[in-house]
Structure 1
């Protein structure tokens, strides 16, 4: 096979890989990326896509092919987890009988095209891309035909073949996991594009809040923040935490999987240093009194960490039965008069299902209905005062909601949720604000716009069939658009809402 264009260069291809030196297969996959790009350029694709984005997506599709050929396991992790969650390997598409989990499939390529066009084009235009749009499906078939013709002779990449080789790589210590997670989060074909927006938001916030910092200082702050993001926020099309992705890659028979399943991450906190020996440093959270023993191996120089004299602000990761420091840290000396908070007392077992006190009051005021619809902020205040018996003061009256209307209130034993400006979307005989036309046009926002609707409320509305007009703008018509959305609503919410989907 010979490349037909030269718009994509080796540095573009290597940007998706965890190494800088060439392997014997890189030229092959670079040529393949350019062949995919040529097919794209000759297609009658509906959406306007810049050349740089076309280059990126062409490389990502070639990397998907390399993943399947080299048995890297990223795509298998995605499809197996999707099947675990939803009963089939992919959202949106009816999979044929000849869909093979460990081979390439036209539907795989269609999904990856949809995902990337959505991320790079649809999100910018605030438009939901129809995953079945004809020109997208045609392009997917043409790319599949190219890859299918290469399938039997395509070479394995030896470095990628061994990258997640749990038999050849020692995953018993956290730094190995953290190093591989960094590549997976920032560079892999499946997650990199999904994470661009939150990373760019961090960069913007650093520029805004540290205007006088040097470029070097800003870079260090950004690097630390995005590395923490890797372990604090769910990511990718399934909104999985990083340890959950690695657990899916490992598979059910891999003994290392337990390391990922039991992983815990404490985002930056301040701790007192209270004990130190040759094996560990014992620290106590200033905020909640929790004590943990961090392996001494996780810090190069612990001489400045003096028990009862030092506090350290740092992230901590629990992995394979050990705690590790992670990322940048800062220390301060404790003065002699500082009141050191005591260790957390042993708490009595408390049921996670303890009922929020608002629940009973709300249900009494609503006559045992978990939903209420309130048209104005003034009416909302009256409900707080007369229905929930709250004291009439600014703290209780949620003044941030003054500029909103058409509220939906939902209560369950965990507490009360309030979503403004969405009542028109909800079909309920108790809801006088419901509007079919407005719902048909805008209700998709509930599934795709972060902060528009709390996930517990969305789940209740969806499962109780109160959002019948919500739909994807499908070329097959309104009814099919509704069917496509409601059959895939949970995946769509995961993909678009991310941490809002996973939020407690």
Structure 2
């Protein structure tokens, strides 16, 4: 988007849409976006905001308005899912009785304005922006008053109105779903801003690890990686998988909701080609022995796939009772000496309790938590408590530089979080520091990798993080604590992303 504080251009507006030719309503909404930008430029927001961020946010707010007017269904899916999860339409704000899910609301504008400020400014500065910050709320009110006055005259964008009309598309096949998922992930006003950071991280990693590759080669690697990310990782402000977003948009009455709910994605791995028929190719995972039948429709050239002679490295997607290949793939000849192993029976189901969990619970006298101040003491626990063999790999050498450990055990196994014991209030924890917790425990909810989600959930639900708060809140300390306590799970979803949904 052009860094121009006075104008947003048509190509900027079209970048949020699943088409590139100007429709009859686009000029109206472009004018609206420019009007919002003018309102913003006259406001006194308490943040230094670049022209590019202002323009992007103005377009996102306008796209939200277009969504509500045209009944696209993305915003309604978000607030409906949020209510399903938390019993309320939006995080942070107390909603009035006249909040209407099918209309424009002041609180919607406030949330979207905060979300854009957080994603584009707060995340860059590694700080949490107060969602109730007075200048954000004031600007949201001005923008709301402007859009509310336009509500009765705003035209529907008929293309967007019918975009998620699943009855009129070939949604019985995976490519139609994947095509629309691509727009939702990369361009939509609600999900795309949340996805920019992980995409930028992929780009950075490709340039770091492929320094000698040509630009064309790097672009191909990036394109492949971000397309896999679309289905492999949760995304958007609720950290939902792509099929969960589509399921929320579809609602209970839409066709293909069952296909969305049962969708499965296997990220790239190697498969043995074991059978070919007129309609399908049977492949077996080299990793776990799982066998799946992939429709021939999903691959243009099957001539090079020979049963028990070819190994294919590919992603697979299960949609509407069929498996499809997805994205780039590569093949190699099967090596009898190296590749052929007895097929491991694939069993999908609940796992038995991890043996470390059982040992941990005996040593801790039935307590799920343990607190250990130093690495030397942690090492001693591994050897004497868990009875691990004293060797470098078992002793987790990566933790040598840390202290103040919290250990948590559940049937999945044992989790270790270094450096957070001072935040956890427990009568057995001598390292607890209320002041440190008050100032820094918010990091557990916003910094990826700082605390495993199972442990974080246990600490919150057992009230062991009473001092954690939104430190930027201008109101009293207790209000910051309540604001975090009432919205912690949403905050964790937004900031932790794949760490929130990780096993």
Task: State the TM-score bracket (shorter-chain normalisation).
Answer: over 0.9
Please give the secondary structure, in 2, of the residue aligned with 1:341.
coil
1:484 has 2:483 as partner: yes
Residue 236 of structure 1 corresponds to 236
What whole-Å deviation, never above 9, does each CA across 1:421-441 have from its counterpart, x for those lacking one? 001111111111111111111
Residue pair 1:29, 1:66 contacting (<8 A) in 2 also: yes
Listed as ranges, the matches of 1:4-403 within 5 Å are 7-335=7-335, 339-345=339-345, 352=350, 354-403=352-401
1:463 aligns with 2:443: no
Deviations 1:89-114 (A, max 9, x none): 10000000000011110000100011
Query: Are the aligned partners of 2:288 and 2:345 in contact in 1 as well (CA < 8 Å)?
Result: no
Q: Distance in 1 between matches of 2:346 and 2:279?
A: 25
Deviations 1:82-139 (A, max 9, x none): 0000001100000000000111100001000111100000011111010011110111
Cα distance in 2 for partners of 1:468, 1:34 equals: 44
Deviation readout 1:324-362 (Å, 9 max, x if unpaired): 000001111225655423433365x86x26221112221
Q: What's the secondary structure of 1:145's corresponding residue?
A: helix
Give me the whole-angstrom Cα distance separating, in 2, the residues matched to 1:337 and 1:240: 42
Specify the alignment match of 2:405 in structure 1. 407
- With normalisation by structure 1, the TM-score equals 0.97
Q: Deviations over 1:242-268 (max 9, x none)?
A: 000000000011121001000000100
Q: Which residue in 2 is equivalent to 1:499?
A: 498
SS of 1:488's equivalent in the other structure is: helix
Q: Kindly tell me: are residues 449 and 346 of structure 1, through their superposed partners in 2, closer, same or farther at Cα, counting changes over 3 Å?
A: closer
Deviation of 1:6 after TM superposition, in Å, equals: 5.0
Separation of aligned partners in 1, 2:257 and 2:450: 35
The count of corresponding residues between Structure 1 and Structure 2 is 498
Q: C-alpha distance in 1, partners of 2:377/2:280?
A: 58
Contact 1:313 1:330 in 2 (8 A): yes
Instruction: Say whether 1:442 aligns with 2:440.
Output: yes
Give the SS at the match of 1:167: helix
Structure 2 length as normaliser, TM-score? 0.97
Does the CA contact (< 8 Å) of 1:289 and 1:341 recur in 2?
Answer: no
The Cα offsets for residues 225-251 of structure 1, whole Å up to 9 and x where unpaired, read as 000000000001100000000000000
* Gaps in structure 1 of 5+ consecutive residues: none
Name the residue aligned to 2:474. 475
Counterpart contact for 1:440–1:471, Cα < 8 Å: yes
Change (3 A) 1:24 1:262: same
CA contact (8 A) 1:291 1:343 kept: no
SS at match of 2:149: helix
Q: Distance in 2 between matches of 1:251 and 1:402?
A: 50
Alignment partners' CA distance in 1, 2:303 and 2:383: 57
Following the alignment from structure 2 to structure 1, what is the Cα–Cα distance between the partners of residues 339 and 178?
35
Q: Secondary structure at the match of 1:315?
A: strand
